[in-house]
Amino acid sequence: MNSSKIETPAENITVDLGPRSYDILIAPSIIDNVGQLIAERIKTPKVIIISDTNVAPIYMERLSISLSAVGLNYDKIILPAGEGTKSFSNFENLLNNLLELGIERTTTLIALGGGVIGDITGFAASALLRGINYIQVPTSLLAQVDSSVGGKTAINSKIGKNLIGSFYQPRLVIADTETLNTLPRRELLAGYAETVKYALIGDSSFFSWLEINGTSLIQGNHEVRVKAIAKSCSMKARIVAEDERESGKRALLNLGHTFAHALESETGFNNYLLHGEAVAIGIALAFELSTRLNFCSPIESVNVRNHLQAVGLSTFLPKHPTSEWNSKKLVSLMKKDKKSTQGHPAFILAHSIGDAFIAEDIDLNEVDSLLNDIINH
């Protein structure tokens, strides 16, 4: 598609951070207009595209053509696909590769891919030459609704997920909704978990809308996808503008994540359990814990679990890949979460659908009991 065919994005959302504000542009086929959009906003003599072995064969050529069309010089780096890419060794190799390409402070990185590529590219941009520009071009639902927005960048450690990273905002987010057409159903479902999260933390009417339209989103209804992505990004943009570095309200975006990160750590940060799949399980557990502690009614917890299952997400633990699940080990992993204080993890719980809150003093014996019941279900 010729870039001139795209005049305005279907949605334009601004993350208001004063002089570091940036736009989220959402539209079909907007990937063909990336070069023009960069040229209009950022003075950069050179860009470097960072992608992975899944995404590059599908979208690298179109992105490259759009850059060439406006005279931008570019190089490409292609990383292995999967959560395992967010490691120390891969991060070191990426930094060295970028330095060998002769980057300067005027160079701009482009993250073309899902959450993994966005995370590692953003972290590299924050570290190189004490900070260079980067742009997010997310190609997965999870990245379009969540991880590409807000400036959280990180890699994993053997101790836990996303423990090494920085807050570093992109200059622009360009979400091409048609890239979701090539996304496997499993990845779409993983991204849906992050979408419904926004409804659960602060908008019950959005949850009601998703109950009606969630299946259509997964099945490919473009209008529904654009609306869900825009709604999610709008909610995140407001929260990030209010609390950029997660000292308060932004922590609500971690609904389900204290459980999820422990599950991912236990399964080895690989494709056995995708991040969004772990988040779906974590959300169900967070609502069940809220019910057990008398914060919300059982019907709320049941409604959440039923909805996740209705669209195709599991809310139960999968078979352990190597041994058996152990509730005490999972609690121990939660204590190492980056949101813990003095070794005590914070949980995002709920009074009802659309009314989440931060709980920092939960009795871990209650968490252990819940996990033990789920394991022995």
* Active site amino acids: 130, 152, 194, 236, 246, 250, 254, 257, 261, 275
**Residue 86: C-alpha distances to residues 91, 131, 197 (Å):** 7, 19, 24
Rounded Cα gap, residues 293 and 349, in angstroms: 10
Phi-psi region of 151 (alpha: psi -120 to 50; beta: other; left: phi over 0): left
Q: Hey, what are 236's tokens? A: 């995140």
Q: Which residue(s) pair with 322 in the sheet?
A: none
What is the sign, positive or negative, of the torsion defined by CA atoms of 124, 130, 131, 132? negative
What is the sign, positive or negative, of the torsion defined by CA atoms of 71, 128, 20, 231? positive
